[in-house]
Amino acid sequence: MAIEVKVPDIGDFSDVPVISILVKVGDIVAAEDPLIELESDKATMEVPCSVAGRVAEIRVKEGDLVSQGALILLLEGEGAADAPAPAAAPAPAAAPAPFAAPTAAPAPVTDAGFGKAHASPSVRAFARQLGVDLAQINGTGRKGRILRENVTDFFKSSAAPVAASGGAVHGGMGIPPIPAVDFSKFGSVEDVEMPRIKKISGPALHRSWLNVPHVTHNEEADITGLDAYRKELDTAAKADGYRVTLLSFVIKASVSALKTHWEVNSSIHPDGDKLIRKSYYHIGFAADTPNGLVVPVIRDADRKGIVELSRELGELSAKARDGKLKGDDMSGASFTISSLGGIGGTSFTPIVNAPEVAILGLTRSKMAPVWDGEQFVPRLMQPLSLSYDHRAIDGALAARFCATLKHLMGDVRRLML
């Protein structure tokens, strides 16, 4: 009996392009084997098979746009046609800056032809974010439908064209071009394909860097007492199978600081004349995975204590490493934290993950002599690097936010207030 395998629940996404078919007719597949790969605005995801069987017929092709319930293929073998499909397992999403793809406020596109273009709502939204006029694009999808990759290719070609010979790579928006160089004249070279994540995130990173006037404020927080308390909690947590890291405390402190300085938790309204004040505190954090950096989001961090934050950090980090994050796990952040503390460094400039207006960077803490008014004493100091959108946040506000953060981290008891 033929078994229908359909697209499972993939969150709030619809009209998601199929970027690769992972099986062919005649293949024997087991339950949970990946069948196709989809690429949404938030993530690349593999759709697994719901039951075992032999592929009898494939009903989709690369470039097709699919939503939940769309028929993928027919299987021959044991199983039920209405067997529930497992949830899709997204691979890491495009990394927000500097580890994930930011989303900027839509650029105005006024060409009358834009509204007549043959494209899905999600592709239209993506084109508006990049400021790309769909009327100028020839779609390669079914019946000339404009796909997301067509918009990306058009953006890249218009922002960074390379001449056929002796040409130059242009930065776009009137920025002087970078001359193309034949590096083979100096030694052996080879072209290495960039990972898909970097290909996807490149235009968005470029857009954010060009559109957001970045400024970075650096500060240091004394975490001597905080870290001693963290170690006590971590020792107890190991027995329960989770860890308590500094990031849990930084999230807790950040939420308190965001409540005091609400502009840092806001977004710029598309009309540019207002700020969107947010009453929720969803905190994104960088997670290093074999496939690249992704940004899971802890929702309603203001309602969670250190233990709950630590458990959720561990669970989301594990899902990220295993490529099992869903779209909802990586969306909706109002503020992001990028921690490089496990690697090193003294400071850096993270790129604002627009439409957020600020991002906090952490590097490795260090013991340093600090004057207490009478003598130098050894204290554990944590570097903080806050990058912010200067349109929404001025230097004084950024300094006050970091001062609040420093104050909260200086005494763990203040986090309980």
Catalytic residues: 390
Strand partners, 288: 293
Element (H, E) at 45: strand 44-48
Contact 121, 315 (CB under 8 A): no
C-alpha span between 88 and 6 (Å, rounded): 11
Beta bridge partners of 367: 380
Three-class SS of 398-412: HHHHHHHHHHHHHCH
The single-letter DSSP state of residue 96 is B
The answer to whether 23 and 58 have CB atoms below 8 angstroms apart is yes
DSSP label at 176? P
Cβ atoms of 142 and 64 within 8 Å: the answer is yes
Q: Is there a contact between 319 and 309 (Cβ–Cβ < 8 Å)?
A: no
Residue 18's DSSP bridge partners are 38
CA dist list (Å): 190 to 71, 168, 183, 184, 269: 41, 19, 10, 9, 45
Cβ burial 385-412 (10 Å sphere, 16+ → b, else e): bbbbbeebbeeebbebbbebbbebbbeb
Q: Which long-range contacts (CB under 8 A, 24 or more apart) does 233-240 make?
A: 233/306, 233/307, 233/310, 237/307, 237/310
Burial class (CB in 10 A: 0-12, 13-18, 19+), 326: buried
How many CA atoms lie less than 13 Å away from 66 in the CB half-sphere? 29
- Determine the Cα–Cα distance for residues 389 and 289; give it in Å rounded to an integer: 28
